[in-house]
Amino acid sequence: MVRRCLIPLVLALALAWGQEPAPAPAPTVPPVAPVGPSPAPAAVTPPAPAVEPSSTVQDDATRVSILGYHDFSESLPETAMRIRTSKFRKQMEAIKQLGLTVISLDDYLAWKRGEKSLPERCVLLTLDDGWKSVYTDAFPVLKEFGYPFSLYLYKNYVDGGGKALSTVMIQEMIKSGASIGSHSVTHPFPGDVKSRVKKGADALDAYLRSEMGESQRFLESKFNRKVNTYAYPGGFHLEEMFKLADEFKYVSLFTVIPGKVKRSTPDKTTPRYMILGNYDKVFEMATSFRDGGAAPGSGVVGVPASTPVPVSPQAGEVVNSRLPLISVDLVTIADLDPATLVMKVAGFGEVPALFDPASKRLSWRVNRKLRQSSCQVSVSWKDTHGKPPEIPLRWSFSIDKDAAYLPEDAQ
């Protein structure tokens, strides 16, 4: 009951703080086949003192949004931990429309070490626990879009039968490019860990060594892959875990505290957005970036992507004007309430876009020259029953760098 009360408060804080790390929602894992303890709820705890990075790698313009998913189903009710498969696909499509670059775990770690450059706006996809639906529902969607992803598995749920992933399923996903990371042995509830604290330092150390060390050994042995990242079950972490992380050579440990990652972000308390099936705002926050756009060479520049309705400039299009006309054709939107239409443009906020009832087109001409390499646009609305679209309409287009510096009379 207490945790349910925390969810609205935490979400309110996240909304108020925008991209800054804030306490995460506390989703609850639905019951699964009885194989050891069920996945623990993503309980929120005050974060342990941040550990400063030991490297001297300098920050760059890149920001990475790490998205965390759990269970998927098209037929079962959505919960905090379970998302409708069709909505998940729409979210993956939205990532493409926004021109965000989905990166692999290896690319992420190389960037954090200062060994690799990445586009300015990137997404890392993580899937926790080892639900069978990751293979049956999410995997086909991820293959469709060609997105790399990482599985965070806990030992006692691998080959658990019922709703759990099998070794064969995991191996097939690894062959398709998936990475794996540790998510403990038993996926303990925070209370389980706290009970060991009360038993003393030796009992706690033995317990954490098993959860963090044995899970790593098991995964590396079973799948013949190096496992050097860890996702805290429920986001719960103690300072004692940091010391063991060094011993087991974990180079990145993920929390459930939302926020964008930069190179200087402490690796032992890495922010992550836990995407909820019953609260779409988290995905919107996770895929919104305050500044910058898709960097040149991100693979989306000049390649228009599809959007649910026609937009101009198109998603991924390169324009040669710094004062473009931005428009959305809403003729196919049934039961639209025009009074609820809102257009927001990066660098401008909400803009005074005009809606033409005859053509059902919403448009606004940029009135201050765009100077960034790309521009993100979002349009929201509600129907006459007050219901918004399931996935917000958002997209990015790019500005031709040469045109951006043409003389005044050439624009």
> For each of the chain's 411 residues, which pLDDT tens digit applies?
333 333 443 444 344 333 333 333 333 333 333 333 344 444 444 444 444 444 567 899 999 999 999 999 999 999 999 999 999 999 999 999 888 999 999 999 999 999 999 999 999 999 999 999 999 999 999 999 999 999 999 999 999 999 999 999 999 999 999 999 999 999 998 889 999 999 999 999 999 999 999 999 999 999 999 999 999 999 999 999 999 999 999 999 999 999 999 999 999 999 999 999 998 889 989 998 864 433 333 333 333 457 888 999 988 788 888 899 999 999 999 899 999 999 999 889 999 999 999 999 999 999 998 888 888 899 999 999 998 888 778 888 888 766 544 454 444
Give domain status of residue 378, yes or no.
Answer: yes
How many domains would you assign to the chain? 2
Q: Are residues 281 and 320 in the same domain?
A: no
Q: Are residues 348 and 213 in the same domain?
A: no
Q: Are residues 139 and 35 in the same domain?
A: yes
Which of residues 238, 253, 286 is at a domain's end? Answer: 286
Give domain status of residue 302, yes or no.
Answer: no
Q: Are residues 157 and 224 in the same domain?
A: yes
Q: Are residues 138 and 34 in the same domain?
A: yes
8 Å CB contact between 123 and 101:
yes
Give domain status of residue 295, yes or no.
Answer: no
Give domain status of residue 132, yes or no.
Answer: yes
Q: Are residues 74 and 179 in the same domain?
A: yes
Give domain status of residue 139, yes or no.
Answer: yes
Closest CA to 42 of 279, 238, 234: 234
Each residue's pLDDT tens digit, 254-309? 999 999 999 999 999 999 999 999 988 899 899 988 644 333 333 333 334 578 88
- CATH number of 336's domain: 2.60.40.1220
Write down the pLDDT at residue 9: 37
Task: Count the residues in the chain.
Answer: 411
- CATH number of 51's domain: 3.20.20.370
8 Å CB contact between 41 and 255:
no
Which of residues 269, 286, 303 is at a domain's end? Answer: 286
Q: What whole-number distance in Å separates Cα of residue 285 and Cα of residue 5?
A: 21
8 Å CB contact between 286 and 67:
yes
Q: List % helix, strand, coil for the chain (3-state, nearest 5).
A: 30, 25, 45
Give domain status of residue 300, yes or no.
Answer: no
Give the Cα-Cα-Cα angle 131, 207, 191 (nearest 5 degrees). 70
Give domain status of residue 303, yes or no.
Answer: no
Closest CA to 142 of 105, 178, 179: 178
Q: Are residues 229 and 95 in the same domain?
A: yes
Q: Are residues 68 and 134 in the same domain?
A: yes
8 Å CB contact between 323 and 404:
no
Q: Are residues 266 and 327 in the same domain?
A: no
Give domain status of residue 298, yes or no.
Answer: no
Q: Are residues 263 and 323 in the same domain?
A: no
Q: How many Å from the N-terminal Cα to the C-terminal Cα in the chain?
A: 60
Range of the domain at 384: 311-410
Q: Are residues 186 and 79 in the same domain?
A: yes
| Strands 273-274 and 318-319, bridge-based pairing | unpaired
Q: Are residues 232 and 120 in the same domain?
A: yes
Return the structure tokens found at 209: 């060594």
